[in-house]
Amino acid sequence: MLHLAQARQIKNITFKNRIIKGAMSEALANREGQPNELHFGLYDAWAKGGLGCAISGNVMVDFRAKNEPGVVVVETERDLAQLTQWANLGKAQGMVQLIQLSHPGRQCPKGLNKETVAPSAVPFSPMLATTFGTPRELTEAEILDIIQRFAESARICEKAGFEGVQLHGAHGYLISQFLSPLTNKRQDQWGGSIENRMRFLLEIYRAVRAKTTENFIVAVKLNSADFQRGGITEDEVVSVFQAIDAEGIDLIEISGGTYEAPAMAGVKADKRKPSSIAREAYFLDFADNIRKQVGCHLMVTGGFRTVQGMNAALDSGACDFIGLARPLAVEVDLTDRLIAGQDVRYAVKPIKTGIPFVDKMAIMEIIWYAAQFKAIAQGKQPNPKLSPLKIFLGYAKSNVKAMLQGRLNSRKQA
């Protein structure tokens, strides 16, 4: 029997196989951030394709802080009925579902929200400064409020019937911003030493645990590295993993990078030794090391393409679950095919528009796949040959409209 096909239990929840869909931006919500029939269609398709577990795309905990148009927001029970319908789709097919809870911090396009906030008022690199503005530094009262927002969103997700949540602590979002000395210049209890910089993550975890039941899964996604000079060190990363493990985290997903150094899309991660590349996954060498440091379940996402590579990773003990993301955007039934011993059909390559400054940002790694999700959600077949340039122009147009609407709303509120 393939390792991929073996069941695994976390608490009293059974994962029918070892394949987990990693979080990817769906961009399917309406202006109010509500889940709808498109989400149901998309996740039902994946469930019927045999997935053991699906982690949702970014779900924001604050409507004032959205990372993109079309993102789901869960801050009250307003959409409990829709969330319950979404959760029940997974249960019907035996697919565990975790909602990824997130706050983008400074990673919000200019004009989308009234303002952006972050641990410190650190601007983006010149290449991205045209898209992302300099944030305002959070007050301590605001930090405490955001912590409780994560907890309240988790409570609502459990009430809706989801098996758990994943805290997004990677890819340069707010938790990751607190962890990195590049974006956290604070001199109070939330900045400075790694013990202070990880306080935000640990307090969110504790607050979520306090508002959910014992068998509710709480996972976290963490960077193995920022892949930026002056970022969080390897020793500091290990200490964060050890600290959250000691608190009782159920599952850690290992990833890496930020918008400014997008290793999660393979842009930086393949500057590796041939022996590492042969193991496929971008972050498997780090997982080998961290496995010796923590006792919780581990998931590695990024780079897996063959059944042999996935089973070898599980057999080595470096991870307990295989995370797949982009391949599932063009192969809805991929899980069933992998368990049958068949490899990924379409090689994942960088999505290029031909516009240099756009291609350097790796934004197409989000929006091209989101276009595939919309097709799947509408009952259509994904299209691996979809034009990146066409998708980018449509995205730019919708972003401009959302920003103009945001400015209009801001004037009305003023």
- C-alpha 96/C-alpha 395 separation (Å) is 31
- C-alpha 235/C-alpha 233 separation (Å) is 5
- In order of 165, 234, 284, the CA distances from 55 in angstroms are 8, 26, 20
Quote the crossing angle between the two packed helices 284-291 and 234-247, to the nearest 10°. 60
Residue 295 neighbours by CB distance under 10 Å: 10
Which structural domains are found in the chain, ordered by start?
Answer: 3-413 (3.20.20.70)
Burial class (CB in 10 A: 0-12, 13-18, 19+), 237: buried
- Tens-digit pLDDT string for the chain (414 aa): 578 999 999 999 999 999 999 999 999 999 999 999 999 999 999 999 999 999 999 999 999 999 999 999 999 999 999 999 999 999 999 999 999 999 999 999 999 999 999 999 999 988 888 889 999 999 999 999 999 999 999 999 999 999 999 999 998 999 999 999 999 999 999 999 999 999 999 999 999 999 999 999 999 999 987 666 778 988 999 999 999 999 999 999 998 755 555 545 444 444 545 544 455 667 898 999 999 999 999 999 988 999 999 999 999 999 999 999 999 999 999 999 999 999 999 877 788 888 887 877 677 888 899 899 999 999 999 999 899 998 888 878 876 666 566 655 655 555
Give the pLDDT of residue 367: 86
pTM equals 0.90
- C-alpha 132/C-alpha 153 separation (Å) is 26
Residue 375 neighbours by CB distance under 10 Å: 16
Helix, strand, coil in percent for the chain, rounding step 5: 45, 15, 45
- C-alpha 204/C-alpha 166 separation (Å) is 11
Burial class (CB in 10 A: 0-12, 13-18, 19+), 380: exposed
Give the pLDDT of residue 413: 56
**8 Å CB contact between 77 and 156:** yes
Task: Give the H or E element holding residue 223.
Answer: strand 217-223
Residue with the two structure tokens 């090391």: 289
**What's the token pair of residue 316?**
């080595």
Task: Tell which residue, 48, 20, 100, has the closest CA to residue 298.
Answer: 20
Task: Tell which residue, 361, 414, 405, 411, has the closest CA to residue 66.
Answer: 405
Residue with the two structure tokens 């089973």: 311
**8 Å CB contact between 147 and 194:** no
- In order of 47, 68, 82, 152, the CA distances from 399 in angstroms are 31, 8, 25, 29
Q: Helix (H) and strand (E) counts for the chain?
A: 16, 14
Burial class (CB in 10 A: 0-12, 13-18, 19+), 163: buried
Q: DSSP labels for 341-398?
A: TPPPSS-------S-HHHHHHTTHHHHHHHHHHHHHHTTPPP-TT--HHHHHHHHHHH
